[in-house]
Each structure stands twice: as C-alpha cells, then as structure tokens.
Amino acid sequence: MEAGDQTVDVEGLTVIYNEKAEAEIGNEVKVDYVPSQGLKLVAPTGVLAYAQRVRSSSMPADGGDSRCGR
C-alpha cells in the first residue's frame, strides 16, 4: 500500500483504492468476470478497467501500472 490508500473488505475480498480511484468510481463499482477477458471493473459511468487479475497480498506487483490486488 502507498500513502493515502484506503481499504474496504467486501465478502472476504479486500479492495485497496486511493482518492483518484474514488473520484473516478463514485459510490459503486461492479466487478464482473468474463472468461475471455478476465476481471472487469464497471462503474455507472462505464468500464474502468478490464483484463485485471486478483493477486494475493503476499505476491509482489508485476511491474505494470495496475494496482489491482496489491
């Protein structure tokens, strides 16, 4: 986690987000799974991210710009 990050636990899944993500997402986000695309994050304003993976908090980030599961 980085300074300013916040967490919320939803049904056993910990979601880490920051102020910028909260501003883009708003009050709700839907996590959808499409076998050919992976995880997709959808807000009322549209698709925020797709082809995401969930990582264990013990796994290091892969070096990409996605912080999903970190």
Question: Which pTM does this prediction carry?
Answer: 0.57
- Asked if 38 contacts 47 with a C-beta cutoff of 8 angstroms, the reply is no
- 54-69 pLDDT, tens digit each: 766 654 455 444 444 4
17-41 pLDDT per residue, tens: 889 888 888 888 888 888 888 888 8
pLDDT at 48: 82
* DSSP state letter for 63: S
Q: What is the mean pLDDT of residues 1-20?
A: 87
pLDDT for 5 equals: 92
Map out the domains of the chain as residue ranges. 6-52
Type of residue at 3: A
Q: What six digits make up the tokens of 25?
A: 């997402």
More confident residue, 48 or 66: 48
